[in-house]
Amino acid sequence: MSEVADILKAAEALNIEARESLARISDVAGVAAWHAEYLSKKGKIPALLKSVGAIKEIEAKKQAGKAGNELNQALKAAFEAKQEEMKAQELAAKLSAESVDVTLPGRLMPLGKIHPSTATIREICGILNHLGFEIYEAPEVETDEYNFQLLNMPPDHPARDMWDTFYTTTPGLILRTHTSPGQIHAMRALAPQPIRIISAGKCFRFEEVTARSESMFHQIEGIAVGHNITFADLKGTLMSFVDQFFGVGRKLRFRKSYFPFTEPSVEVDITCTLCNGKGCSVCKQSGWLEVLGAGMVHPTVLKNGGYDPSVFSGFAFGMGPERLTMLKYRIDDIRYFFSNDARFLKQF
């Protein structure tokens, strides 16, 4: 038998063997193994094609080469078809195994919660709204003029040292150290009508962060301007507020103090609920926690706001909602509020 006849015979035998073998395969992995055996570089078909290269006689070589190539192409096509078939079969099996049960209830998405500072601010504003105070929004980035000068603190006034300030790169523009500039904004917007305004928001101080002090915290400012407003009105408002916020019975202490924009001025303390007045790190062992500053609006400030101090009088206060939240929920460290720990935030 000639060389060509041998090759053609071998090709025919290989064709039958490969097709029978492929027909028996039932998964993707089997198809890959079949490819390795017959069509890969070291497989049986490339070996057959190699033997064609050894034929010397041109016509014979052509004939054997044609048969070899046809076999190669045909088996490649068979391989691809089988591979597709197996992939589709595996996908169908996977889909039926993982079928979706549309009757199952959906998974609950975890719900966010209102931040405790926001919840307290809303609660406080609600109480003060009922006492007749309207909400007024004021900016967090302030001018030196509003944060200090119009509140009776000209440049170089020593009282500015009470508020360590964050300055911006723009001269005269600062992060407000308290919500009191809101007093001037509200008065200028509404003078000469009598007003009862509250303004809440963030304040910033370049001070050491401790269990009771943050460098960013909130304040709620209140101001009432009208005829015959006295210190008794201030006291009555704050006592009514504390009764409603904490429940009747909590002790309040008015301590004489100094603010350049109020005269007289007080700081108001509440008995520390964390230690029941015995003394702890939050109340600095005093048994009292300072929660707000207040006083009668200084005549110069009334004038700066557009009111005639011989006709109008007023009171103002500025309270720290984080401190009030600490007292109400017995939180022993203010740093929990803004450290973003969900275990703390989820409790409210």
Please report, as ranges, the residues that interact with ligand FA5 according to CB under 6 A. Answer: 178, 180, 205, 207, 213-214, 217, 219, 221, 259, 262, 265, 290-295, 316-320, 322-323, 334
Q: Rg of the Cα trace of the chain?
A: 42
Q: How far is the CB of 285 from ligand FA5 (least distance, A)?
A: 18
Query: How does DSSP classify residue 107?
Result: P
Return the percent helix, strand and coil in the chain, to nearest 5: 45, 20, 35
β-pair type (252-259, 134-135): unpaired
Q: How far is the CB of 205 from ligand FA5 (least distance, A)?
A: 5
82 vs 178, beta carbon nearer ligand FA5: 178
Q: How far is the CB of 225 from ligand FA5 (least distance, A)?
A: 13
11 vs 165, beta carbon nearer ligand FA5: 165
68 vs 182, beta carbon nearer ligand FA5: 182
Sign, CA torsion 278/281/284/285: positive
Q: How far is the CB of 178 from ligand FA5 (least distance, A)?
A: 3
68 vs 260, beta carbon nearer ligand FA5: 260
| Residue number closest to ligand FA5, CB atom | 320
CB 22 within 8 A of CB 79: yes
Q: How far is the CB of 109 from ligand FA5 (least distance, A)?
A: 33
- Output the furthest CA–CA distance in the chain (Å, rounded): 132
Q: How far is the CB of 261 from ligand FA5 (least distance, A)?
A: 6
79 vs 288, beta carbon nearer ligand FA5: 288
52 vs 270, beta carbon nearer ligand FA5: 270
CB 203 within 8 A of CB 217: yes
Q: How far is the CB of 212 from ligand FA5 (least distance, A)?
A: 7
How crowded is residue 3: how many other Cβ atoms within 10 Å of its Cβ? 16
CB 197 within 8 A of CB 133: yes
How crowded is residue 276: how many other Cβ atoms within 10 Å of its Cβ? 10
Residue 312 burial class via C-beta count within 10 angstroms: exposed 0-12, middle 13-18, buried 19 and up: buried
64 vs 289, beta carbon nearer ligand FA5: 289
Helix (H) or strand (E) holding 94: helix 58-97
